[in-house]
């Protein structure tokens, strides 16, 4: 079942055209992401930012001008606007590449979304970065390539990986080891779960998650 999605177009590096939104989805341009959308003739539902990247404040009523001095990024502000409108699934383009600190900030954001009961997906050049908190994610048998799992907090408790090349069962995964890197899909339905804590999960673009 297709879930209503808030697409956020940020000002980082872009590697492909954004997905075509469905009815009920929302598109938010965060600062310089607006310029990228204009190249595809996609009109966002909302434009938000301090517009230091874009260099101008777009005209129109669907614009939120943020102060340059603030405690969050334009992308996080866009997430908050989407959440306020009822969205719990976020797909972020232009959230990686460029400045490393902004990439890290966006990883923090998707972990925060997971802790609030939602899901966030960072689209990079060839991978998707997502997060789950006290939850399970399942993958279709058609999935292929590498999948890596890391603890976002100090440790993740009760980590299980099934249907992958290397299995974990109710394991403790600290954030100081590389244990979860470079597992592989094997052509069967698979899952990653965590009982307590937040996991960052990285897998190839095109990998299909299974929703119950």
Neighbouring-strand partners of residue 8? 28, 92
Q: Flag whether 140 is in a domain.
A: yes
Q: Flag whether 1 is in a domain.
A: no
141 neighbors 109 (Cβ within 8 angstroms): no
Same domain, 153 and 74: no
User: What is the predicted pLDDT for the residue at 71?
Assistant: 86
Same domain, 29 and 101: yes
Q: Flag whether 119 is in a domain.
A: yes
User: What is the predicted pLDDT for the residue at 42?
Assistant: 86
User: What is the predicted pLDDT for the residue at 192?
Assistant: 98
Cα 127 versus chain centre, distance: 11
From 125, 151, 170, give the residue that closes a domain: 125
Q: What is the pTM of this model?
A: 0.92
Burial class of residue 170 in the structure, from the number of CB atoms within 10 Å of its CB (0-12 exposed, 13-18 middle, 19+ buried): exposed
Same domain, 115 and 138: no
Q: Flag whether 29 is in a domain.
A: yes
From 70, 92, 125, give the residue that closes a domain: 125
User: What is the predicted pLDDT for the residue at 2?
Assistant: 67
> For residue 53, what are its two tokens?
């990247």
User: What is the predicted pLDDT for the residue at 36?
Assistant: 87
Domain that holds residue 147: 133-210
Low-confidence ranges of the chain (pLDDT < 50): none
Q: Flag whether 76 is in a domain.
A: yes
Assign residue 189 the CATH number of its domain: 3.40.50.10240
Q: Flag whether 147 is in a domain.
A: yes
From 125, 150, 173, give the residue that closes a domain: 125
Same domain, 115 and 202: no
Number of domains in the chain: 2
User: What is the predicted pLDDT for the residue at 161?
Assistant: 98
Same domain, 18 and 116: yes
Q: How many CA atoms lie within 13 A of 203 on its CB side?
A: 26
Q: Flag whether 195 is in a domain.
A: yes
Same domain, 97 and 188: no
Same domain, 116 and 90: yes
Same domain, 103 and 149: no
User: What is the predicted pLDDT for the residue at 67?
Assistant: 83
User: What is the predicted pLDDT for the residue at 197?
Assistant: 97
Same domain, 32 and 86: yes
Same domain, 121 and 163: no
DSSP the chain: -PPP-EEEE-SS---SPPPPPPTT-EEEEETTHHHHHHTTTPPPSEEEE--TTTSS---SSSEEEPPSS-SS-HHHHHHHHHHHTT--EEEEES-SSS-HHHHHHHHHHHHHHHHTT-EEEEE-SSEEEEEEES-EEEE-TT--SEEEEEESSSEEEEEEEESBSS-EEEEEEETT--TTTTEEB-SS-EEEE-SBSEEEEEEETTPPEE--
């Amino acid at each position: 079942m297709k879930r209503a999605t808030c697409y956020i177009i940020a000002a980082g590096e872009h590697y492909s055209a954004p997905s075509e939104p469905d009815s009920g989805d929302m598109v938010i341009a965060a600062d310089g992401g607006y310029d990228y959308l204009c190249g595809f003739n996609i009109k966002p539902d909302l434009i938000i930012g301090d517009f230091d990247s874009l260099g101008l404040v777009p005209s129109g009523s669907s614009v939120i001008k943020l102060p340059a001095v603030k405690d969050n990024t334009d992308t996080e502000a866009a997430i908050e606007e989407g959440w306020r409108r009822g969205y719990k699934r976020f797909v972020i383009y232009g959230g990686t590449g460029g400045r490393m600190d902004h990439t890290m900030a966006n990883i923090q954001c998707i972990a925060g979304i997971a802790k609030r009961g939602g899901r966030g997906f960072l689209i990079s050049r060839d991978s998707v970065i997502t997060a789950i908190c006290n939850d399970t994610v399942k993958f279709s048998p058609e999935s292929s390539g590498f999948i890596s799992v890391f603890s976002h907090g100090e440790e993740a408790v009760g980590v299980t990986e099934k249907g992958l090349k290397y299995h974990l069962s109710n394991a403790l995964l600290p954030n100081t080891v590389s244990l979860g890197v470079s597992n592989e899909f094997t052509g069967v339905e698979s899952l990653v779960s965590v009982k307590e804590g937040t996991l960052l999960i990285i897998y190839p673009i095109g990998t299909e998650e299974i929703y119950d």
